[in-house]
Chain A
């Protein structure tokens, strides 16, 4: 590992000296997200391995290249999990890519997002120096929360070497319930349930021939799940079908997700139906996947008018993505802060330039 680290360091220093950008990747499973540039590949997949895992401290520290499947299997053996339920999008997914893209799965609305669980990051900076931010403890306000801002930063501020992530116990029991329901009614129902102390850890709405189907997942102790079920009614989905359902949603293997372009619209959960096109709704209404032929400007202004934003999650073509941009344009003051952060952390622009926005 030491020689790998020296090699990574040398590559960064060389990039800094030559001005030739790097394109950081693990298993390449999230290559589709954003505008992947033509930089020299910096392969993190060999820099792998769990550094420390202390179940009773609820924290695991792993090198960036550690496969997500291995990490999750180890946690499962100890009855624990990554509570934000990250999508893999492929067998080669790594914890580094998981944190760098900051994507969360079905459990996000209930348990929290990727960045809510990141406790610390070891970073290789633009000068090849190793910096440690955060740590292995949740209560830590010494200095700025750089490890949380690195989450979802798509590699633009440096090379993540190691991450420390908070883990939680797996629920003792889970149960999925389904209801025939139209989109508007489903959104209202989810809002009403969210205001009550119910053990709902995932939700989905899809359109069907009869209008639509709402599914929710209950998780917790047997008594919590049973009393939840008694209050919420609905039809129980058999366990194996339920697991397959949430997995296919998380991994986007359902036929719906083959649509191109595929938009991700993030809005306040209790937002009425967007009427932009065919849709799958998650996160109590907070995450909406849209398949539409409407132009990007229309999708973005609709999202913005409702207090949200829209991401061209899977574009029709790279040319189209380049033309309209993948991520929602930033407000000018916020953009100014972004530009200064980028230039402070990556003065030569060697780390994944253009991956998120063309100017970063």
Chain B
């Protein structure tokens, strides 16, 4: 038993390794771009999901593309894992560092290279904030459509990694529908351009598989995005319902009427109760569910569409319907939904934001099941729901200082995700798998499907050094997790023997 000696030898080996990597990095980037002291690297130990933290061995903040190439080449040579980071706002731990690796911060890549109102495109560096693109395009009456709630802070490179959506993605699409080209560096340090400024590119659609690949296939150094014309007018309806199922029927009614709203969001009673004192939007606190339904276009189009939407809500049994009468009022109606997460921070020491997608018609059933889980886990869960596309964000309120509360929150979250798969949905609609949902991937996919994902990874990054141990679980991990693969749409029968 030589534990102290082993520990000392490990520490020495780690220190030597760190010195080797730092020294190599200093050959290719200026000294101020490389950090390794604990107090310097601690700010990078987690992203928006602070439940998962890891100190990186080194943090590098490159300033040019050729520096990125050199960094990746030397990491390949020295077999050092690399985790890229944009703004660090991600909610699944995708940018959580690797303890033996480099954390590659792309925040210095913050320039808008070109904004062309004639072609309705913008060429931007990956560290540019999502909202900054729309702000720059505003003088031309153009904007960048995908609007995740974190858009004031999140980076476009991160949006590419997660295929981010937002309230308006039902009508305007996800990141994959709004990006024309991604320029990236491979783990070999080579440049690849995926997509193009034309409407398509030759060969397989590598751009489509790259978007949403959570930093595992390459490091983005430039993005060409599509800009869309700002509609003349937008108006939002706020409708109250006394049952979740009635609200869900109203959502189906909107789609059945052939309407594609600009935004269609649902908040349950707990969510409304949490946000109303925070934003004073005038939400109906007695409603079991509130729908926010937006129309945009010309004044005539909006008037006609709002009338049709109101008609659907009335026929569905809405107990109260309000239509915004000004832009300020429209923003106020939305303020609660957009601030749901920070408002939750007021109501509880901590909150755990879940992300799953279900077929819209299952929302009533899933929300009832969550209410039942609240009792079992003895925790509150507020729900906001992208009703238009079935993407659900349960917000589990817990206390991070209480280990029992943390454990219950994680189990509650896992059970919700597995329920999403059971009813025919997916474990993640927009936040990504990262590290957080990697176990649930064992539930959503078969071994062969996971092998196919490993095959995609292998085609782009044969060395497996980009963001390793994220998203796609290994066979060993699934065996450890012990959950059976659940066929989508089939109910679990816990009373049947497993083997």
Contacts and interface: CB of A to CB of B under 8 A. Distances in A.
A345 B452 contact: yes
A311 B425 contact: no
Contact of B199 (A58, A266, A328, A357): A266
A195 B211 contact: no
A269 interface: yes
Interface residues of B, number: 96
A71 B231 CA distance: 33
Interface stretch (A87-95, A248-256, A331-339): A331-339
B448 A125 contact: yes
Interface string B418-437: 00000011111111110001
A229 interface: no
A320 to B, nearest CB: 19
19 contacts: A54-B359, A116-B173, A132-B449, A133-B452, A135-B426, A136-B424, A137-B390, A140-B429, A146-B456, A148-B176, A197-B298, A223-B301, A227-B300, A268-B119, A268-B196, A269-B198, A309-B196, A328-B202, A337-B460
Interface residues of A, number: 82
B255 interface: yes
A113 interface: yes
A267 B431 CA distance: 33
Interface stretch (A15-23, A149-157, A174-182): A149-157
B194 interface: yes
A224 B456 contact: no
A54, A267, A268: which has the most chain B beta carbons within 10 Å? A268
Contacts of B191: 333
The 10 closest A-B pairs by CB, nearest first: A139-B429, A169-B258, A344-B455, A148-B208, A340-B459, A223-B300, A328-B202, A286-B199, A139-B391, A56-B252
Given A140-B428, A344-B455, A194 B304 contact: no
A41 to B, nearest CB: 24
Interface stretch (B25-33, B49-57, B161-169): B161-169
Interface stretch (B8-16, B266-274, B332-340, B439-447): B439-447
Contact of A139 (B202, B209, B430): B430
B199 A144 contact: no
Interface of B: 117-121, 140-142, 162-163, 165, 169-170, 173-174, 176-177, 186, 190-194, 196-206, 208-209, 211-213, 229-232, 252-253, 255-256, 258-260, 297-298, 300-301, 303-305, 357-361, 386, 389-391, 424-433, 437, 441, 444-446, 448-450, 452-453, 455-460, 462, 471-472, 488
A328 B198 CA distance: 13
A309 B181 CA distance: 14
Nearest to A344: B455
Given A55-B256, A283-B199, 5 more contacts: A137-B357, A142-B441, A224-B301, A337-B192, A341-B204
Contacts of B192: 331, 333-334, 337
A197 B301 CA distance: 12
Interface string A94-134: 00000000100000110011011000000001010101110
A234 interface: no
A277 interface: no
A132 B486 CA distance: 13
Given A56-B361, A139-B389, A195 B120 contact: yes
Given A227-B298, A337-B206, A56 B255 contact: yes
B304 A223 contact: yes
Contact of A145 (B194, B211, B450): B211
A109 to B, nearest CB: 7
B230 A139 contact: no
A356 interface: yes
A168 interface: yes
A144 B232 CA distance: 37
Interface in A174-215: 191, 194-198
A170 B212 CA distance: 30
Given A143-B433, A149-B209, A195-B140, A168 B186 contact: no
B213 A144 contact: yes
A177 to B, nearest CB: 17
Contacts of A169: 258-260
Given A140-B357, A270-B119, A197 B232 contact: yes
B361 A139 contact: no
A144 B258 CA distance: 31
A22 to B, nearest CB: 19
B204 A149 contact: yes
Nearest to B456: A144
Nearest to B488: A135
Contacts of B197: 268, 307
A221 B170 CA distance: 18
A327 interface: yes
B203 A223 contact: no
A138 interface: yes
A129 B448 CA distance: 8
Contact of A137 (B162, B196, B359, B441): B359
B361 A54 contact: yes
A287 interface: yes
Contacts of A273: none
A357 B203 CA distance: 8
Nearest to B162: A141
Contact of A56 (B203, B256, B428): B256
A220 interface: yes
A137 B202 contact: no
A112 B178 CA distance: 10
Contacts of B212: 141, 144-145
B413 to A, nearest CB: 15
A204 to B, nearest CB: 15
Contacts of A341: 204, 455-456, 459
B204 A338 contact: yes
B176 A116 contact: yes
Contacts of B170: 138
Contacts of A135: 424-426, 488
B452 A146 contact: yes
A311 B198 CA distance: 13
A103 B391 CA distance: 29
Contacts of A269: 119, 198-199
A4 interface: no
A155 B471 CA distance: 27
Contacts of B205: 102, 115, 148-149, 151-153
A160 to B, nearest CB: 14
A266 B200 contact: yes
Contact of A268 (B173, B176, B198, B452): B198
Contact of A131 (B117, B202, B256, B452): B452
B459 A337 contact: yes
Contact of A308 (B196, B427, B433): B196
